[in-house]
Chains A and B, each alone.
Chain A
């Protein structure tokens, strides 16, 4: 049994304002194994994004601990890539300049790293557009460029905060397939937040269901699809797909009552 890359133990977090306290997370505990693609689903506004911000180190939990077991045995914070709901590519930079933004900030603009970015752009049909401005690209291409920007830093853990929610349905399917392919191929560990059950089942190895606010882990469902392969589109045709969907739907419906 490989050690978990990431372990959350009893994480709690509340938002404070003058009117009072709004608890967002209550005693959340789960783990993610190295190389695993996990998805978190939960009722809207249940604190999913708060959870990702805590894992990314943008917020500190009020209670609880996060433990990382790096493959080399050390416990230091791993490199985390965070993909936001929208691409937020900067219009004053070309696609290539956007993709190397993280390298620039971390002073890692070495020839190897920039070559890696260019190779990712070649793999995902963005090379031709590398000198264009974001507004000249389609929504799906922009989201792929945003993923390359995240991958450029070679993160050990990818956090995906509803990265497809701003796309139209058709683009959403193809982009999620692309991004799933990129993540699987580079053997990244990923944690996806989504409110779309089909998306979670078709992409993830395991789905973690959160309760309504204050969120806590309601149950975890490992996904084993006989048809999965590499394509989340094909996965939607797996015989087990509907059963998983119903299972998750029921777990969530309890929460919606």
Chain B
């Protein structure tokens, strides 16, 4: 009895040591990341202040912060951020819905998927920015054009990866549904869809980034509002602080959206 007690105590302390070591390692990784970030900022600021780089072209952290404040108070920056976010989320959601619908259709009909395959491959490898001028002619300049540009960048790849995911289900699992008296619809709802949740989530992660790319391209060409517009406008009037501030904001938005999907993945993951 006593022996086993001491053994548990030893085991516990070993476990504790392991946990401590693991936490230490994690902390070191996080602090390394922070160090690199601040080192970069310091180097940037120093080179700019010391005149190693021309702050007119390359800006500096302090000027970025000042510019951010100025945009926020005088140039309704929040509106621009909101527009870009709205357009990105709208095209992301539409890509998701349309992608799921098309991939489902392709899965249902193998004939249709064979017919559609070359078109999807060609459309997917087409540089979508080439389509933007067409959208402007067809739809004018404005939110619709930009959302369509965002959709065009992500949609074809999304259909292809969702359909590939759907078709990778082990055929025996589908046979199982048929042996239990199920129809193709049951096979889709009970096997294909739940089996593809990881692929659906990873496609969403890629899509949210691509939608942002498409929206910024759209804003370059056809907008009077949004962060893409601020970048183009800033470069045209040689306000590099504005360009760099907008780019940094885009970085933060991209990260935020990615984290959003990751949170969703965690939620779903605990259900599965």
Chain B residues within 8 Å of chain A by Cβ, number: 18
Q: Which residue of A lies closest to B178 (CB)?
A: A58
Is B179's CB under 8 angstroms from A82's CB? yes
Is A91 interfacial (CB-CB < 8 Å)?
yes
For B175-202 the 0/1 string (1 means CB < 8 A from A) is: 1111111100010001100110100000
A-B pair count, CB < 8 Å, reads 44
Is A90's CB under 8 angstroms from B191's CB? yes
Q: Which of A29-37, A99-107, A239-247 contacts B (4 or more CB under 8 A)?
A: A99-107
- Bound CA–CA A5/B173 (angstroms): 28
Q: Which residue of B lies closest to A56 (CB)?
A: B179
- Bound CA–CA A56/B177 (angstroms): 12
Q: Which residues of A contact B186 (CB under 8 A)?
A: 105
B173, B175, B190, B197: the one within 8 Å of A105 (CB): B190
State the Cβ distance, B59 to closest chain A Cβ, in Å.
50
Q: Which residues of A contact B170 (CB under 8 A)?
A: 88
Is B194's CB under 8 angstroms from A90's CB? yes
State the Cβ distance, B197 to closest chain A Cβ, in Å.
7
State the Cβ distance, B169 to closest chain A Cβ, in Å.
11
- Bound CA–CA A150/B176 (angstroms): 10
Q: How large is the interface on A (under 10, 10 to 19, 20 to 34, 35 or more residues)?
A: 20 to 34
- Bound CA–CA A232/B187 (angstroms): 36
- Bound CA–CA A170/B190 (angstroms): 33
Which residues of A (48-70) have their CB < 8 Å from a CB of B? 56, 58
Is B272 interfacial (CB-CB < 8 Å)?
yes
- Bound CA–CA A91/B176 (angstroms): 14
A85, A86, A91, A153: the one within 8 Å of B180 (CB): A153
- Bound CA–CA A124/B179 (angstroms): 23
For A224-236 the 0/1 string (1 means CB < 8 A from B) is: 0000000000000
- Are A84 and B180 also in contact (CB < 8 A) when A91-B272, A92-B272 are? no
Is A58's CB under 8 angstroms from B194's CB? no
For B245-272 the 0/1 string (1 means CB < 8 A from A) is: 0000000000000000000000000001
Beyond A85-B172, A88-B173, A101-B180, list 9 extra A-B contacts (CB 8 Å). Answer: A56-B179, A80-B179, A84-B179, A90-B173, A102-B181, A105-B177, A105-B181, A105-B186, A150-B180
What residues of chain A have their CB less than 8 Å away from a CB belonging to chain B?
A: 56, 58, 80-82, 84-86, 88, 90-92, 101-102, 104-106, 149-150, 153
Closest 7 CB pairs of A and B: A82-B179, A102-B180, A105-B182, A92-B194, A92-B272, A105-B186, A88-B176
What residues of chain B have their CB less than 8 Å away from a CB belonging to chain A?
A: 170, 172-173, 175-182, 186, 190-191, 194-195, 197, 272
